[in-house]
């Protein structure tokens, strides 16, 4: 998993292809990330009580990491992440402009 919370990404496949969002949560086990407001599906809920009136609710589903690309904050382009090791520290770098992410 190269992505982390707070990264800005663009969706590269699926119904929200081309849309951008900021990672809210990373699910390492399933290799997915949650992007608020993106990959939203409608879910029909039954009325339970006065506090849960039911109806159609928006339900964001996590997006597979393979279907997103990181947007480099420096060059503003979708990019692949590379790594640079200097001594004991490993930094993520943008493969396009080589800046540390």
The binding site for Zn ion (CB under 5 A) comprises: 72, 74-75, 94, 96-97
Smallest gap, in angstroms, from Cβ of residue 25 to Zn ion?
24
Of the candidates 90, 88, 87, 69, the one whose C-alpha atom is nearest the C-alpha of residue 79 is 69
C-beta closer to Zn ion: residue 22 or 34:
22
Of the candidates 17, 62, 2, the one whose C-alpha atom is nearest the C-alpha of residue 36 is 62
C-beta closer to Zn ion: residue 45 or 97:
97
Smallest gap, in angstroms, from Cβ of residue 101 to Zn ion?
8
C-beta closer to Zn ion: residue 32 or 68:
68
């Amino acid at each position: 998993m190269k992505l982390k919370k707070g990264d800005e990404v663009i969706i590269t496949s699926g119904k929200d292809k081309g849309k951008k969002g900021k990672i809210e949560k990373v699910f390492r086990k399933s290799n997915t990330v949650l992007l608020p407001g993106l990959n939203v599906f409608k879910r029909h809920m039954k009325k339970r009580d006065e506090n849960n009136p039911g109806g159609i609710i928006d339900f964001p589903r996590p997006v597979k990491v393979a279907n997103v690309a990181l947007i480099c904050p420096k060059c503003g382009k979708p990019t692949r992440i590379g790594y640079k090791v200097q001594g004991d520290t490993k930094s993520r770098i943008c493969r396009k402009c080589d800046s540390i992410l």
